[in-house]
Each structure stands twice: as structure tokens, then as C-alpha cells.
Chain A
């Protein structure tokens, strides 16, 4: 069974513009949070287009943020944007599947600290503000992301 799953994972195609990653089992559980119910929150984020703008803006803010830009050097930003959009869409009730790695695997050996996460959250808050997402709706997404700290932080 494990062999078959590994084989299935290994045969996943590499999306255009992305670098290959080590095989892993694709599962929505990798998103690290249970989706919200209903589509009110998805609407508050202006759906696919809004989440697309927020993630693009977030990645740009992070890569130009002197506090955390080093973390993103050498990372596959094309893949990061795609999987972040999937993850937010999945969590916000947008009906997507998440095909990325688990939070633990995705952040492995990055040596992240709580302060790095706080900087990222501040950048996400700015991206959501710029998109015009109401503050309460912003916090509902942050509430889903916050517990991922336990898997993302290593020291």
C-alpha cells in the first residue's frame, strides 16, 4: 500500500514553471486546517481573483521584507504562489483541493522562529487590507493559519 502511494506520488507531473519536489502523498489534510463552512468568507475575500491578488501581493511583500526575505531566497516562488492560493481557497471554503505538502514538510529545516511568522502575518494583513477584506474576515483566516505555527516553527 505504501509502495503504491509512493508510486502514485512519484508519478505526479511537475506543473509548468515549477521545480520538481521529492514525492509526497497529496491530501487535503496537508493544508493543516479544516475549511470554514459556507461561502460567506470566500466572498469576503473576493473569491479566486481576490485570493490570487492577496497571495501575489503577500509573496512580493515577503521577498522584499528585510526581516524575512532571506528565507525566500532559493525557494520555488511559482510553486509557493500556486500552493498558497490552493491552501487559502481550500480553507476559505472556495472548493479547491490542496495539492501541496504538509506544513511540517514544507517548512522543514528552514529554522523559522516565531518572529518570522509574525512578520509574515503582518504582510498577509497588509495584503488583505489592500484587497479590502473586512478586518473580522481577515481574523477568521488568521485563526485557521495560527495553529500551523507548531509545525512551521523549529526553534
Chain B
């Protein structure tokens, strides 16, 4: 929170334009965990659900950011995500994440070859519209944000052969997040308009459904200390492809703010059936640094 050297080149000119006068700059200002952690798609949120919170430790007086790496070790597959986000004035978030989905031994069974991997780049932007999830404790109104995630996969020919319409696509979402401080709860509900199969790793659209459909993702957690949030998440998925069923996903997570600048999230995740291989469950581990 106190180190802003990483973006110093960007900060100095912008802070002079900001309401805070240059020279009065000092980093930080969000409470622990009030920045959320990072989803597998690179946005501030839980692990599966994107929240309305803006990434980074800065308030309306500054620009902060975060970087993350996440590993999901499933029974037959592995998903690795890394990326970074910038949060400006507690209003706008831009993010980038790269996902790599490793089919490991199952790749041979599926006829792709052992260790065959699908990758995609995810470019995200989020705008906080109204509300303050943490401070507006006398209002029912949650913090509400809209966002977009443009995803570009690397296996165009293959995902088309599997029935997808495209290897790239764009999700749009509306997220509402609220900290119910008098009950030590954090809740989020997000609606996502998407065509993505397995978040886009298996392309967009399919032979069963081609167009945009609304999907739900949400989190509910309890703050057990100012450093530790325990909770659960749920995410529905479109199930567009005829060749392989896609299930809803859920997880049970623990997000721990080790310091102001480091958070570790561990989860048990159940992603259901992936590419005809059913019952994909496993350990989710994410490391985030924020400033």
C-alpha cells in the first residue's frame, strides 16, 4: 500500500492533475481486504466471481494496482493464471490476465496430445457507477460497477472444430458488492452476458447455443478477523457445446491479507465437467500483491 514505485512514472503527472495537490501524495488508504482479491479472469473480486470493487489499495485520491498468480490444480487438468490490474481513483479498473489450461495426461486421452494447452489473454475494464461497499453502511445500496472482458484464445481452429463459433469473445457484466459490516459479511452478486465456454478457453458460442446469455456469479463471505475472509462462491455457465457438458462451478475459499500488500487465497473448487472429463475438483491457490 505504501510503495507506489511500480507506477511512479504514471502517478506523478496524474497526481498533479488530481484533487490532491502534488507533494501531499502518500500511498494507500483502503482497509485490508477492501480491495478484494483477484479472479481467474484478472479482475478484483473473489476467485470465480468478479466484484464491483476496484483493484489496488488507492482511494479516490490516487492510483493503485495489483498483480497476481493463481494455480488451480484439478483432478485431470491444471489452470494457471497470472496478470495485473490498475485501479484509478477508486473509479476505474483496467486489467490483464493470461490463462493457461493444461490438459496434462488427459490431453492424450482426448486425442490432443499429452500436455496440450489452451491459452487466452483477457483484457478487462471496470467502471464503478455508484455506492461504496465499505463506507455506505447506512444505505442498502451496494457498490455497483459495470465491466467488460475481452478474451482472445489461441486455439481458433480446434475450438471451432469442437463446435464453438469463435476463439475470441467479449463478456459484459454488472456487479453489486456490499460489506455488511454490522454482521461482518461480504456479499456479491454479478450478472454476466457471455458466450464463453469454460470462461472462453473452449471458445465462444456453440452448436447448442450461439448467442449471449445471462449467467450469474456470486460470493458470500464472513470476515472472521480483519485479515481473514472465509466464504463460498457460485457461478453458472452457458453449456453451449454439444460435445462436452459444462457445469456450474463453486468454491469454498479463505482469503488472508498477510500484509497490506500481500494476500493469499486458498480454495477448494469444483468446476464440474470439463471437455468430457467429469468431476473436476481441486485446490485453488492464489497469491496477490497490491499497492
Contacts and interface: CB of A to CB of B under 8 A. Distances in A.
Contacts of A115: 26, 28-29, 59, 61-62
B137 interface: yes
Interface in A109-147: 113-115, 118, 121-122, 125, 135-136, 139-140, 142-144, 146-147
A139 B223 contact: yes
Contacts of A140: 181-182
B35 to A, nearest CB: 11
A67 interface: yes
Contact of B135 (A113, A135, A146, A155): A146
B136 interface: yes
Nearest to A121: B31
Interface in B173-232: 181-184, 223-226
B29 A113 contact: yes
Given A144-B137, A147-B136, A147-B138, A139 B184 contact: yes
Given A144-B137, A146-B181, A149-B135, A118 B226 contact: no
A135 B226 contact: yes
A143 B225 CA distance: 15
B223 A114 contact: no
B18 to A, nearest CB: 10
Interface residues of A, number: 21
A143 B136 contact: no
Contacts of B155: none
Given A115-B28, A118-B30, A135 B137 contact: no
Interface string B52-63: 000000011110
Interface residues of B, number: 27
A125 B226 contact: yes
B134 interface: yes
Contacts of A142: 137, 181
A115 B224 CA distance: 23
Given A113-B20, A135-B224, A122 B184 contact: no
A122 B225 CA distance: 13
Interface in B25-72: 26, 28-31, 59-62
Q: Which residue of A118, A122, A135, A150 has the most chain B CB atoms within 10 A of its CB atom? A: A118
B29 A135 contact: no
Contacts of A136: 183-184
A139 B182 contact: yes
Contact of B59 (A33, A113, A121, A139): A113
B19 interface: yes
30 contacts: A33-B138, A113-B20, A113-B59, A113-B61, A114-B29, A114-B59, A114-B60, A114-B90, A115-B26, A115-B28, A115-B62, A118-B30, A118-B31, A125-B226, A135-B223, A135-B224, A135-B225, A136-B183, A136-B184, A139-B181, A139-B183, A139-B223, A146-B136, A146-B137, A146-B181, A147-B138, A147-B139, A149-B132, A150-B135, A155-B61
Interface of A: 33, 67, 113-115, 118, 121-122, 125, 135-136, 139-140, 142-144, 146-147, 149-150, 155
